[in-house]
Amino acid sequence: NVGSQVILFDGSGVDYLCMITSLRNLGATVEVIENKEVNRNRNNVYLCMALVKKDNFELIAQKVTEIGVTHIIPILCEHSEKRKLNFERLNKIILEASEQSGRGDIPIIHEVMKLEDVFTKGILPQEKIVLHPEGDTLRKYMSGLHETNSFALFIGPEGGFSPKEITLLKSYNVPAISLGPQILRAETAAIAISSLLIL
């Protein structure tokens, strides 16, 4: 109704408290009463996520958006069961998750890339890790870091990265990190380690 207040955001990290001043069939006119920058005291996480089944990838995108991941980079791997993504649907899921969680900005979702191409495009931060059951603990890795707030995180598909892909990651000196001896599903691994790195 006219006089009602709503909160709007434009993806830039600012929330706008607005009052509806007029209504019409196809929309409304609002007046900005107050704007507030959303507090983003979190690390930047670039989730380089192998393509998995459609519903699982959508779940990952939704949950890591709520957690605060800043970039989602779909990776085409040798063991990927899926080869394409519905970006229109994925962007809608990400937008709704951003609104629901009140984060004030929207993660950037990149085009699908081959693993080797991610390293050559110059989009990743300096710190990179790959989740692998035989890696060091996250605590040990973090204790040896100089101060940083940006990470690229690589998660493989069901069945993991192929030997060729592991060799490629090693050639770029990407350290392996483990969350324990148990084998996690790709979506569980992505959500769990993203939540640990984001803080």
115 alpha carbon, distance to own chain's centre: 17
- How far CA 83 is from CA of 51, 53, 74, 157, in Å, comes to 7, 9, 10, 12
| Average pLDDT value for the chain | 91
Q: For the residues 87-97, what does the mean pLDDT come to?
A: 96
Per-residue pLDDT at 162: 94
Output the pLDDT for position 41.
59
Report the candidate in 139, 66, 65, 146 with the shortest Cα–Cα distance to residue 108.
65
Q: What is the rounded average pLDDT of the residues 22-38?
A: 88
Mean local confidence (pLDDT), 102-106: 85
What is the model's pTM? 0.84
Q: Residue 39: what pLDDT?
A: 61
CA distance 65 to 72: 9
Q: Could you give the percent of the chain with pLDDT greater than 90? A: 67
pLDDT at 193 over 90: yes
With cut-offs at 50, 70 and 90, classify the pLDDT of residue 199.
confident
Rounded CA gap, 167 and 3, in Å? 61
pLDDT at residue 143 in the model? 85
Task: Quote the CA–CA distance of 65 and 194 in Å, as a whole number.
Answer: 10
- The 3 state secondary structure assigned to 96-107 is HHHHHHCCCECC
Average pLDDT over residues 50-57: 93
**Residue 146: pLDDT over 80:** no
Q: Mutual orientation of helices 54-67 and 87-101 as an angle, nearest 10°?
A: 30
